[in-house]
A and B are shown apart, each in its own frame.
Chain A
């Protein structure tokens, strides 16, 4: 059973087309990079794959479940890092993680573990608003793997990463099916064995460790 099967995913906002008939097949353990310029539809695609929004048309199956019907169940097994970190500024790093633990029904003991993984143990008691952008991004990544998800979806995780960031990415992606979106071809080839290029909502090309000529 493949981890993710997307068939003819299309999405439009009103009459504005965002995705046009995207097919995607991801096997377990695959690391797939979605490359494309701004506005190519990467974020829209990722949000659909993460079950944040429903596609206007098309089919999506994740881990054998129909993603359009079993969204809530799937969300328990998916880790998603969105474009903006989505953290609570007034809460500390530890409290942010604890809160999301509570929402997921996960054990709070995971919190110090995750903070350690992300290299944030020193700033556990600092409010999220006081953390640097890079630290916030790391915290968001840690949050995404709190519940040990089977599928990881990352929207431009490199966007505000600091020096420790890429190493964290490698660690969380290890042995975990991942789909990530990025501009950065170097990062894509470093982290992922496969790349898919999106252009104006359509799949423009795909391959393994593709060297893409724009």
Chain B
């Protein structure tokens, strides 16, 4: 199926580029660790409040890392006029979008592989499989939305300002449900199962919507 071939080819290309240049992932990893360290000072973390504040810090770090990662996914294409070159091959814009979002999402996951253990270590919280699963689920929807608006914003001026403005309102449901899921997983009160179900519902809704919208954002 052409769609899958195109998407996979693009994802591979992006991951290969990142592997060769190693620009994004080290920067993201450093960023999230730094965010944790600063949170420690900013929130005056001690053994009592660490587990209460940890979920919030996790999402803050993830949101900012996500904005950077997804912003970069399309900024580079724009600079090299390669987005148009891809469209000119006659490939479906939705497939191009899927490939980009897949790659960017995976790069964010690599960053999460640093963030979560660091969080566990520095904040003394338990990083369970459930927690990891919830974060991964949220990453899917966030990647779809982040990449759609990154694609849009890459074609405009003032992109650093505009990307958070457009993306964050759409990420709120993920942060709310994800925050609840993480908090429950860390042993707080709350409905872990419900939160995860919500994340899944949001994922399905927004992956479908962004796929449909992709052709209006990428192509004329």
Residue numbers of A with Cβ under 8 A of B are 50-54, 72-76, 78, 80, 82-91, 95, 99-100, 102-105, 127, 143
Q: A88-B82, A105-B5 are in contact. Are A75 and B220 (CB under 8 A)?
A: no
CA distance A85 to B82 in the complex (A): 8
The residue in chain B whose Cβ has the minimal distance to the Cβ of A47 is B84
Residues A86 and B89 in contact, CB atoms below 8 Å apart = no
Q: How far is the CA of A3 from the CA of B6 in the complex (A)?
A: 29
* A73-B85 in contact (CB<8A): no
CB A67 to nearest CB in B, in angstroms, measures: 12
In the complex the two chains form, what is the Cα distance from A8 to B82 in whole Å?
Answer: 30
- Minimal beta-carbon separation of B72 from chain A (angstroms): 13
- In the assembled complex, the Cα of A203 lies from the Cα of B193 at a distance in Å of 67
Nearest A residue to B90 by beta-carbon distance? A75
What is the number of contacts between chain A and chain B, taking CB atoms within 8 Å? 68
Shortest CB–CB separation between residue B100 and chain A, in angstroms? 13
B81 and A73 contacting across the interface, CB-CB below 8 Å: no
B49 lies within 8 A of chain A by Cβ: no
Contact with A along B69-96 (1 / 0, CB 8 A): 0000000000011101111111110000
Interface magnitude class on chain B: 20 to 34
- Which residue of the partner chain, among A72, A86, A95, contacts B84 with CB atoms under 8 Å? A86
Cβ-neighbour of A87 out of B6, B20, B80, B90 (below 8 A): B80
B44 CB contacts on chain A under 8 angstroms:
none
A95 vs B20: C-alpha distance when bound (angstroms): 13
- Distance in Å: Cβ of A56 to nearest Cβ of chain B: 11
Whether A86 contacts B82 in the complex (CB less than 8 A), given A54-B220, A73-B90, A76-B90, comes out as yes
Q: Give Cα A83 to B88, complex, Å.
A: 14
Chain B residues positioned under 8 Å from A95 (CB to CB): 16
| One of A73, A86, A99 near B9 (C-beta < 8 A) | A99
Query: A100 near B5 (CB under 8 angstroms)?
Result: no
Query: B48 near A: Cβ within 8 Å?
Result: no
- Name 30 A/B residue pairs within 8 A (Cβ), A-sorted: A50-B88, A52-B88, A52-B220, A72-B90, A72-B92, A75-B90, A76-B89, A82-B81, A82-B85, A84-B81, A86-B81, A86-B82, A87-B82, A88-B17, A90-B16, A91-B13, A91-B16, A95-B16, A99-B9, A100-B85, A100-B89, A102-B5, A102-B9, A103-B9, A103-B86, A104-B90, A104-B91, A105-B2, A127-B20, A143-B85
Could you tell me if A90 and B90 are in contact, using CB atoms closer than 8 angstroms? no
